[in-house]
Structure 1
């Protein structure tokens, strides 16, 4: 049974502000095109870069490794789903490490203040993944089945009542 792993990292945003000014090539080397587009489009690019850097470190801590050991600087990145929720993208050495550990998903949470960026990561193996909740359609189907069963019972009671009424009426005719 594989174990879930957790990781957290905190980065000073002022560090990234300095890096952006002094060494813009660092941003080109460290971040994907998608990450750079997202960060540059924000009001505080340094804060978003710092969050993504913290996310890389947190993910590697959750996997129990660091840079090196076959894991490159761009093997972990941050993308966003259709609703804007960030998620970790693993490639290369990070993907290999996760697969070897039985990790099927790495969940992340990012946040920042005026001074600090923080990221949390949880590496989840298949056997520790929460079971999916029943979908609304499952609930609807269950409710519809319940109403259908109730209707059947009511129809059956009505049929029995009609048979008893007919039986009582035919008994009266026989007596007269």
Structure 2
């Protein structure tokens, strides 16, 4: 049974501007330690990576029905990837962990990052 669906779109340029102004602070706020290990060394890929994670986390929060705020923090959601490159979601807050399967898809164009999430209740 479908528990929730979420979608989010982010302008990559917006994230790029934030990274130029305050990269370290923004990364510490948004990304978990494991996500930071995946952070690209190549400067040209960084904004795209962060925009995808940002959109993904927003989409998860929307699918859960909470949004990002007092109940759900950025670092409560971790987006990793399988060896194939497929993104996967892990919830780090025990209050949110249920008998769910979280499906996520992240896509990019030159200008936008988009994420779609479907949460399936088992």
- The TM-score, its normalising length taken from structure 2, stands at 0.88
Tell me which of the two structures has the higher relative contact order, counting C-alpha pairs closer than 8 angstroms and 6 or more residues apart.
2
What RMSD over aligned residues (CA atoms) do the two structures have, in Å?
1.7
Written as runs of structure 1 = structure 2, the 5 A alignment for 1:52-131 is 52-92=53-93, 95-99=94-98, 103-126=99-122
Is the contact between residue 111 and residue 119 of structure 1 (CA under 8 Å) also seen in structure 2? Answer: yes
> Residue 167 of structure 1 aligns with which residue?
none
More strand by share: 2
Q: Larger radius of gyration, structure 1 or 2?
A: 1
> For structure 2, which runs of at least 5 residues remain unmatched after alignment?
none
More helix by share: 1
Would you say how many aligned residue pairs link Structure 1 and Structure 2?
120
- The TM-score, its normalising length taken from structure 1, stands at 0.63
How many Å apart are 1:3 and its aligned residue? Answer: 4.1
Is the contact between residue 55 and residue 78 of structure 1 (CA under 8 Å) also seen in structure 2? Answer: yes
How many Å apart are 1:77 and its aligned residue? Answer: 1.6
